[in-house]
Amino acid sequence: MSDTFVQLTDLTLTYGKNIAVPALNLSIREGELIALLGPSGCGKTTTMRAIAGLLAPASGSIHIDGRDVTRLAANKRGIGLVFQSYALFPHLNAFENVAFGLRLQKLPEAEIKSRTEQGMATVGLSGFEGRKPAEMSGGQQQRLALARSLVMRPKVLLLDEPLSNLDARLRLEMRTELQRVQKETGVTMVFVTHDQAEALALADRIVLMQQGKIEQLGTPAQLYAQPETAFAAEFMGFENIFKVAGDSVQNDHGSLPLGYRPDSAILAWRPDGVRVGQGPHQGRVTACSFAGGHREYVIDSALGPVKANADIALPEAQIGDSLSFDLPQATARPLRA
């Protein structure tokens, strides 16, 4: 592992009297793709704006590549920005959009040309040089915005929900593209999303945030399999989360005996971790939907609604039917309070 490349130390970010981010500590390695994940308003954009130099921290420091940039102007930090609205210049063709920043730097024409062509090739847009943004698809415009940032050779590239304007198919395409570009250029990327699937698919490590604080930080595999809190578990698709009391689980609706005694405060199951069609518990089916390889049931039980996926090979239960289920120890994820 390479050393820390971006270091946020006790970074506190405020808007007037409101503290959006209190004392954030985060180390990012060179060449890493970090995803900031979390619900609306948790401080993702605020953190990005501080790294970029668009928001002065109330306290704390930001180091990039060994240098304290806390008080450095945005345009001196070597940071590229790609935002949700990619703000291309509509009157300029693709080439000139990408070349724009290089022209501002007054580089020699030959260098502008070669770097622009190389940047467009990196994002798979060779041949599109003469097109205006309006003559390009959403995904192509997004890639153009990426090329425009990449040609500036930023030390760090910040992407704030860059894919949220794209339809589902283009999002997938761009995800792969972003990963490829990142591996090819080795640029350190911080990527903001509130889509957990996107974070899992793209990131080397995920920073899950809640109310300006890091709830959990880890690889996609760690966050997916080992969320530590109910908040993290919920974000990672554990739809059944219950408090433990002795050998039962309980919530506001009631309680169910487990037949084993967990040693954690909270237990969580994904819908596919709940066994359907057999087991000690009974409930009534209140919703059933076909989802390709499985059926998704909502079972009204002593715990209220339990979400359970059943293999398509099992006999189908209808709404109103009684259905037995189990909350097995093997698929339970222990969480701390």
Ligand X SMILES: Nc1ncnc2c1ncn2[C@@H]1O[C@H](COP(=O)(O)OP(=O)(O)OP(=O)(O)O)[C@@H](O)[C@H]1O
Can you give the binding site for Mg ion, defined by CB under 5 A? 45
Q: How far is the CB of 48 from Mg ion (least distance, A)?
A: 8
Q: How far is the CB of 231 from Mg ion (least distance, A)?
A: 18
Nearer to ligand X, 39 or 127 (CB): 39
Nearer to ligand X, 42 or 147 (CB): 42
Q: Which partner from the list Mg ion, ligand X, none does 20 bind, CB cut-off 5 to 8 Å by kind?
A: ligand X
DSSP per position, 132-194 = -GGGS-HHHHHHHHHHHHHTT--SEEEEESTTTTS-HHHHHHHHHHHHHHHHHH--EEEEEES
DSSP character for 53?
A: T
Q: How far is the CB of 28 from ligand X (least distance, A)?
A: 18
Q: Which partner from the list ligand X, Mg ion, none does 46 bind, CB cut-off 5 to 8 Å by kind?
A: ligand X
Nearer to ligand X, 18 or 318 (CB): 18
Q: Which partner from the list ligand X, Mg ion, none does 188 bind, CB cut-off 5 to 8 Å by kind?
A: none
Q: How far is the CB of 294 from ligand X (least distance, A)?
A: 30
Terminal Cα-to-Cα distance of the chain (whole angstroms)? 32
Using CB under 6 A as the criterion, which residues of the chain lie in contact with ligand X when the complex forms?
15, 18, 20, 38, 40-46, 194
Q: How far is the CB of 90 from ligand X (least distance, A)?
A: 25
Nearer to ligand X, 45 or 142 (CB): 45
Q: Which partner from the list Mg ion, ligand X, none does 2 bind, CB cut-off 5 to 8 Å by kind?
A: none
The enclosing H or E element of 282 equals: strand 275-291
Nearer to Mg ion, 83 or 224 (CB): 83
Q: Which partner from the list Mg ion, ligand X, none does 175 bind, CB cut-off 5 to 8 Å by kind?
A: none
Q: How many CB atoms lie within 10 A of CB 273?
A: 19
Distance CA 98, CA 100 (A): 6
At residue 134, what is the residue type?
Answer: A
For the CA atoms of 57, 190, 166, 37, the dihedral, rounded to the nearest 10 degrees, stands at -80
Q: How far is the CB of 41 from Mg ion (least distance, A)?
A: 8
Question: Rounded to the nearest 5°, which phi and psi values hold at 102?
Answer: -70, -35
Distance CA 97, CA 93 (A): 6
